[in-house]
Amino acid sequence: MLVMDAITEMLKREGISTMFCFPTTPIIEAAAAAGIRPVVCRQERVGVHMADGCARVQNGRPPGVFAMQYGPGAENAFAGIASAYSDSTPILLLPLGHPRDSAQMFPLFNSTRTYASVTKQVEPVLLPEHTVPALRRAFNALKNGRSGPVMVEVPADVMTAEFPGNDVHYETVRRTRSAGDPRDIEDAAKLLIEASCPMLIAGQGVLYAEACDELLALAELLDAPVMTTTDGKSAFPEDHALALGSGGTVYTGHGRHFLHACDVIGAVGTSLTKHNISTPIIPEGKQIIQITNDARDLNKAHPTALPILADARLALAQLCEAVKDRLGGKPRTTGARATIAAHKAEWQQRWQAKLRSTERPINPYFVMSEFMRVIPSEDAIVTHDSGSPRDQLLPMYVARKPRGYLGWGKSHQLGTGLGLAIGAKVGAPDKMCVNFMGDAAFGMTGLDFETAARSGIPITTIVLNNSTMAIETHAMAFSHERYKTRDLGGNYANIGRDLGGWSERVTDPADVGPAILRARRVNEDGRAALLEFITSAETAFSHRRGAA
């Protein structure tokens, strides 16, 4: 048995059935021989995004895995891991290391040194007998505490070396969780009940803890509205009477109202990092209860009136019991539902003209509205891309089921959504997995649409092609006037077809809904689909960064 065979055996015991990768690394051959499917990407960064999407839809059980060669492979994957680190996604990164006799030579790229800043844990395997304990420590880090990418680097000469013994003595790592301090839970219940206008903010920690039912139960007990972070979108059903949608760079009208009107915020499964894209910007003067499994989050961005270090699911269950006891079986009514309904109706009315527009070029809001009309949220997993598609889709898309939407936005590159959708389809093959991207994003990662087509991973990519970087209109006014710096071009439907997928280019608003349904049927037949909609350079966004 070789070290690569031992690693493969441990991956199988931990439930890994797919490895995203890019040659050359011997672990690909070992994994394939053992029945783990290798999905070979076109670019390492996108391959990491695939592992990211797969991990998310499975709540990290098992985590995603990405393997690549040393040098250029490790260098190219860095951006993807930086994104996963910012979103706390559990990914096992298995870079091949330079042979031990040359690994420290200048100027060779040193993965263990360079990746330390964007991983939860890094460890090299310098001797064959270190393989099992290194993988055990890696899976412990992946399963416990705050999630995040973990790297185990195996030098090329170790990967193909003889593994000591004829068997792998490895037991799967058990996940552990901790409940909240009972005193803190009682104080939190008291503070929330006595608040005149409480609200809850849910992050993706609620999703990883599988605590969505407990979040819903607490919201209904308190009659308190719920906003999610961008990463946490779908942790609370957005068709519920207490739903405020997500908050960060954009907000719903009712979400913006309550963020300013509330006096007490219960933040669950979120770091509350001050970030104007992915986290609600909390006004001064709010009392904050924060439940997190990472002590570094407490009192980090805001003074925390009541910090609780605990697993989101266990703490929310405790809070539900404490609130029930204090209410004594009496229903609680705050008037939040009526207020939400009124502000939501007014906000939706203001956006109807764009959502139902039949203008040419097609308004991107109309594409999103038609998608929601013809594809039930329960049947889909949807993600956005950076820039306009993100800011337009986040407030408008109604996610009804956990992980029905993959939100992101802290430290990401254009094109992230394509890899996420491919990985999501691998992890949830029964869902229609769709990424909305602009033409600039397609230019970054579009060739990996071929990975989906070649690998039989039937996703739908929706390209909103306005032939310009519309979101940069004000930032690049002079350079564009003189040198046309914002202009982009291309027939992306042709590219999708040439890459082996099914595609359509749509210019007529009347054909948007039917085209989306055709793409769904193509997906059901096992083929990847690309829809290119010729859209306007829309730059209106809902309550973007605090604007009206």
CA atoms within 13 A on the CB side of 526: 3
Please list the rounded mean pLDDT of every run of 10 residues in the chain (548 residues): 97 98 94 98 97 97 97 95 96 96 88 95 97 98 96 97 94 97 98 97 97 98 98 98 96 96 98 91 96 96 96 98 95 96 97 96 98 98 95 97 94 93 98 97 96 98 92 88 89 97 98 98 98 95 66
182-336 CATH pick, 1.10.490.10, 2.60.34.10, 3.40.50.1220, 3.30.450.20: 3.40.50.1220
Alpha helix ranges (H) inside 262-363: 312-327, 336-355
CATH class of 356-546: alpha beta
Q: What is the pTM of this model?
A: 0.96
State how far the Cα of 53 lies from the Cα of 418, in Å rounded to an integer: 9
Question: Angle at CA 317, nearest 5°, toward 311 and 318?
Answer: 90
The pLDDT, as a whole number, for residue 545 is 55
Q: What is the pLDDT of residue 472?
A: 85
Tokens linked to 105: 């030579």
- pLDDT tens for 321-347 read 999 999 998 889 999 999 999 999 999
Q: How many CA atoms lie within 13 A of 85 on its CB side?
A: 18
In CATH terms, is domain 3-159 a member of 1.10.760.10?
A: no
411-428 pLDDT per residue, tens:
889 999 999 999 999 999
Measured in whole angstroms, how far is the alpha carbon of residue 459 from the centre of its chain? Answer: 17
Per-residue model confidence (pLDDT) at position 168: 95
In the chain, residues under CATH classification 3.40.50.970 are 3-159, 356-546
> What's the distance, Cα to Cα, between the start and end of the chain in Å?
64
Domain(s) labelled CATH 3.40.50.1220 in the chain stretch across 182-336
pLDDT at 546: 44
406 to each of 49, 207, 414, 418, how far by Cα in Å? Answer: 12, 11, 15, 11
Burial tier of 112 (Cβ tally within 10 Å: 0-12, 13-18, 19+): middle
- Tokens (6 digits) for 371: 């998608």
Going by C-beta distance under 8 Å and a sequence separation of 6 or more, which residues neighbour residue 250?
Answer: 391, 394, 395, 541, 542, 543, 544
Residue-level pLDDT at 217: 98
